[in-house]
Amino acid sequence: MARLINIGFGNLVNTDKVISIVSSDSAPARRLIQKGKEAELLIDATQGRRTKSVIYMENNRIILSALQPETLAGRFNGNAAEVCDDTKE
């Protein structure tokens, strides 16, 4: 059964389709973002805030989130405190 996690600001992602969650600070992540923009495979879920996480999906979609990778990993792993706590946004 598909599970959805909140990646910030009410945006949800299907956990069955997530390949990786990485920090946006590295040069490879920035290149991935640029290639996603060029190929029109990028989904920006930051609501205008600074990108902190890059989520790479099975269908080659790239999703940008304003939440830290650690926060998303906690939600992905089912940490109840992380799933319910939207005050960090």
Per-residue pLDDT tens over the stretch 65-87:
999 999 999 998 887 444 444 44
From 71, 85, 68, select the one nearest 24 (Cα to Cα): 68
DSSP conformational letter for 49: S
Determine the pLDDT at residue 12.
96
Q: Quote the pTM value.
A: 0.84
What's the rounded Cα separation, in Å, for the pair 10 and 22? 20
Residue 79 structure tokens: 């940490």
pLDDT for 16-56, tens place per residue? Answer: 999 999 999 999 999 999 999 999 999 999 999 999 999 99
pLDDT at residue 11 above 90?
Answer: yes
Pairing assessment for the beta strands 42-44 and 62-65 based on DSSP bridges: parallel
From 41, 36, 47, 40, select the one nearest 11 (Cα to Cα): 47
pLDDT at residue 88 above 60?
Answer: no
